[in-house]
Amino acid sequence: MQFETISETQISKTKQLFTVHSPLIHCMTNDVVQTFTANILLAIGCSPAMVIEPEEAEQFAAIADGVLINVGTLTSDRQSAMRLAVYSARHAQKPWVLDPVAVGTLQFRTQFCRELLKLNPTAIRGNASEIMALAGSSQGGRGVDSLNTPNDALPAAQALAREVNTMIVISGEVDYVTDGHRTIAITGGHPIMTRVVGTGCGLSAAVTAACALPGDRLLNIANTCAIMKQAGEIAKRNCRGTGSFIPEFLDALSQ
Amino acid sequence: MQFETISETQISKTKQLFTVHSPLIHCMTNDVVQTFTANILLAIGCSPAMVIEPEEAEQFAAIADGVLINVGTLTSDRQSAMRLAVYSARHAQKPWVLDPVAVGTLQFRTQFCRELLKLNPTAIRGNASEIMALAGSSQGGRGVDSLNTPNDALPAAQALAREVNTMIVISGEVDYVTDGHRTIAITGGHPIMTRVVGTGCGLSAAVTAACALPGDRLLNIANTCAIMKQAGEIAKRNCRGTGSFIPEFLDALSQ
Amino acid sequence: MQFETISETQISKTKQLFTVHSPLIHCMTNDVVQTFTANILLAIGCSPAMVIEPEEAEQFAAIADGVLINVGTLTSDRQSAMRLAVYSARHAQKPWVLDPVAVGTLQFRTQFCRELLKLNPTAIRGNASEIMALAGSSQGGRGVDSLNTPNDALPAAQALAREVNTMIVISGEVDYVTDGHRTIAITGGHPIMTRVVGTGCGLSAAVTAACALPGDRLLNIANTCAIMKQAGEIAKRNCRGTGSFIPEFLDALSQ
């Protein structure tokens, strides 16, 4: 299979777009990654805001430049608020992104993710097991960990992207970004990124911001994956363990 | 206009009061800044506790030395618990502080903040847009970001402070602390502080602790603003980006 | 009284068991320590997942290798989900651990902790005041801070451990781990650990993981206490305040 690749020039251009446009991102995300997600968006020059009360979520989704829906610690209250936010974003023609954390194994979120799929998310970001479970081709991972490789998930991702008219990011050792017609492969990064909570969820937030940028959306998303992978490599070189990886990663993103 | 200023000796005295009295602060704050808020209070020698269940919040507000109400991720459940905590703090004559995050734009929290205003918060801490929106003189900021300068907000803050009999902190490039009669100006700090989530919310928690100290309350609040700004300057000098700013900031506060 | 002690060889063995078995830990914990808890588990080689919706919590507790119940920011919704998770863990014969944060003073959580006691937690981890309050021999601490020493709490802990057939960790200057018959004492650590939010809650998560390991459970729990204390000592030596303590602590755990 033939994949598009990306150049350093293109990556730099997306970096610059983040700081010039500074998209305001409405994050409806899980309890575990709230701070890290906000700091990742701030580091790349975007403006995060977490708004969760149903009426406010509906109102804010139309004001913000993009909405992130991450089902990591879904509850029925949050589900109601997320639904309103998605309807509102669609009505206001704002992009919204689904992060289907641990979909497959857990029934409540799996049902909700399938419901959201019908509302045509602008983009979806998950690990290989999550994307396969969302596409109905596997049972999901072990908790939040993937049991499959991005290569395993690519055919299902491409088919699902065409079916739902969305862009899908499978993140892992190689990230694939596909709309079902074009597929971009992004190499790099480091396994230590899976030993720090929130790097995947943070990528989903950054992908939401990428969807709010002008220009080639698939390319902006791919460049965002590259920005995160490169920051992970720099942080890995400078850190002495998973603890110092965190500030080093944000430092690399913010420079 | 003539502003009071503060001396290093005064700032040191407030620092010492924090460690001697170690006020126990009941934080009802947003999902994004819980950890950072707790670590900021611990770093300056105070004792944080987050208690949110309505009955417990009511009970704990009377036990703690001060209560922080931050509406960043307000929900109707939290609103009920916050109401009970405020009633309880007032009844027990304990100080309580309002942080009206993103007030103005979002209706649910705006209505709640106006309700709380009538209950005479001991102090209020917000950015310029938030203070202006609370006073009814603007529509609020862009998400959690201010679109105004502290100078823009000062007349409205002074009028509101007199009307509600409270002390208001407008934080920004210059912080102003006013009770409507006296106004203290605090310079310093660094713009990087706005690129790390929770520095403003953390200041509100520290201001709550300042309200629990003996002595000149307006001065203790102003000194607390200075303590945070100085820690921000030290952290900026020692950090290599927004990531390492965070541990450096807490290190500076804890030394 | 005669206490067992542990050797470096034993501690190393438990460390190795964490990385070999990588237990999947279902954390139902408080709002303040979610990220730090996840990063602590990841640092020692375990796999954390936070699942809180009642149906999902019930389902996941049977899949995971252990369940942590921490009542720090208990609400009635979370109480319902925790109950289902505990029933499910018991039914599936999976270990579950109670962290009775601030039990004693606050009535809602105190009642719930007493209810959970009757369900025979595999282990309980608290500070001295919490363990004494749980055993009914004191009124609890000051917020989340202990007003007693581990020595004060040991007789009550030993009696409670026998009564409920559980293992109890009293953490403090010395940690005691007891099943009411054997008692292991773990020295070390540093007071700075009480000035960073979440070291105690993180220990409870690690203790949950220890309960999921093969071998002598009491010894694995004690070794886990030692692993945390030793990481605290290393971090204290390398840090410049409470801020840099956090990444240094995780670095020490992850190495």
pLDDT at C138: 83
Give me the residue from B48, B50, B254 closest to C31, CB to CB: B50
Average pLDDT, chain B: 97
CA separation for the pair C45, C22 (Å, rounded) = 6
pLDDT at B142: 86
pLDDT at C139: 84
Confidence of residue A137 (pLDDT cuts 50, 70, 90): confident
| CB distance B32 to A38 below 8 Å | yes
pLDDT at C9: 97
pLDDT at A139: 84
Which whole number is the average pLDDT over B213-238? 98
Confidence of residue B115 (pLDDT cuts 50, 70, 90): very high
Q: Using H for helix, E for strand and C for coil, what is the string for B169-224?
A: EEECCCEEEECCCCEEEECCCCHHHHHCCCHHHHHHHHHHHHHCCCCCHHHHHHHH
Taking CB atoms and an 8 Å cutoff, what residues of chain A touch C248? 243-244
Confidence of residue B79 (pLDDT cuts 50, 70, 90): very high
Which whole number is the average pLDDT over A69-86? 98
Which whole number is the average pLDDT over C130-147? 90
Confidence of residue B26 (pLDDT cuts 50, 70, 90): very high
CA separation for the pair C221, B5 (Å, rounded) = 55
DSSP A49: E
Which whole number is the average pLDDT over A64-69? 98
Q: Among positive and negative, which fits the CA dihedral A27, A140, A229, A198?
A: positive
**What are the residues whose beta carbons fall under 8 Å from the beta carbon of A171, sequence distance 6 or more?**
A125, A126, A127, A150, A200, A203, A225
> What are the C-alpha distances in Å from C230 to residues A75, A93, A137, B105?
38, 54, 45, 49
Inter-chain touch A247–C251, beta carbons under 8 Å = no
Confidence of residue B19 (pLDDT cuts 50, 70, 90): very high
Greatest Cα-to-Cα distance within chain A, rounded to the nearest angstrom: 47
pLDDT at C142: 86
How far off is chain C from B14, nearest CA to CA, in Å? 19
pLDDT at C82: 98
pLDDT at A140: 85
Taking CB atoms and an 8 Å cutoff, what residues of chain C touch B60? 105-106, 143
> What are the C-alpha distances in Å from B102 to residues B32, B105, B176?
14, 7, 19
pLDDT over 90 at C140, yes or no: no
Residue of B40, B106, B239 to mutate, testing the A interface (most A Cβ within 10 Å of its Cβ): B106
CA separation for the pair C12, C208 (Å, rounded) = 18
Average pLDDT, chain A: 97
**What are the residues whose beta carbons fall under 8 Å from the beta carbon of A39, sequence distance 6 or more?**
A250, B196, B197, B242, B243, B246
Run of H or E including B251: helix B242-254
Name the amino acid, one letter, at A53. Answer: E
Place of tokens 């309103």: A84
Phi, psi (deg, nearest 5) at residue A2:
-95, 125
pLDDT, tens digit, 9 for 90 and up, residues C108-136: 999 999 999 999 999 999 999 999 999 99
Between C187 and A146, the more confident residue is C187
Q: Is the ipTM of this complex over 0.95?
A: yes
pLDDT over 90 at B138, yes or no: no
User: Which chain B residue has its CA at the smallest distance from A60's CA?
Assistant: B106
Which whole number is the average pLDDT over B226-249? 98
pLDDT at B167: 98
pLDDT at A145: 86
pLDDT at C141: 85
| CB distance C50 to A31 below 8 Å | yes
Q: State both tokens at C172.
A: 């403090």
CA separation for the pair A224, A208 (Å, rounded) = 10
Least confident range from A45-49, A146-150, C197-201, C235-239: namely A146-150
CA separation for the pair C135, C130 (Å, rounded) = 9
pLDDT, tens digit, 9 for 90 and up, residues A160-206: 999 999 999 999 999 999 999 999 999 999 999 999 999 999 999 99
Q: State both tokens at C247.
A: 């990444």
Altogether, the residues listed in chain A come to a count of 255
Which whole number is the average pLDDT over C207-235? 98
Q: State both tokens at B86.
A: 């405020």
Inter-chain touch C32–B42, beta carbons under 8 Å = no
DSSP string computed for C20-54: HH--EEEEE--TTSHHHHHHHHHHTT-EEE---SH
pLDDT at B130: 97
Which whole number is the average pLDDT over C229-251? 98
pLDDT over 90 at B145, yes or no: no
pLDDT at C144: 82
CA separation for the pair A161, A134 (Å, rounded) = 11
pLDDT over 80 at C1, yes or no: no
Phi-psi map region of C111: left, alpha, beta (phi>0 left; psi -120 to 50 alpha): alpha
Interface of B with A (CB under 8 A): 30-36, 72-77, 102, 105-109, 142-145, 195-198, 239-244, 246-247
User: Which chain B residue has its CA at the smallest distance from C144's CA?
Assistant: B49
Residue of A30, A234, A250, A255 to mutate, testing the B interface (most B Cβ within 10 Å of its Cβ): A250
Confidence of residue B212 (pLDDT cuts 50, 70, 90): very high
pLDDT at C230: 98
pLDDT at A18: 98
Inter-chain touch C107–B51, beta carbons under 8 Å = no
Residue C83 annotated as lining a ligand binding site: no
pLDDT over 90 at A42, yes or no: yes
Give me the residue from C52, C246, C254 closest to A73, CB to CB: C52
pLDDT at A111: 97
pLDDT over 80 at B61, yes or no: yes
pLDDT over 80 at B1, yes or no: no
pLDDT at C40: 98
Place of tokens 């990306």: A6
Give me the residue from B34, B102, B241 closest to A254, CB to CB: B241
Which whole number is the average pLDDT over A241-250? 98
pLDDT at A14: 98
pTM of the model: 0.98
Which whole number is the average pLDDT over C128-153? 91
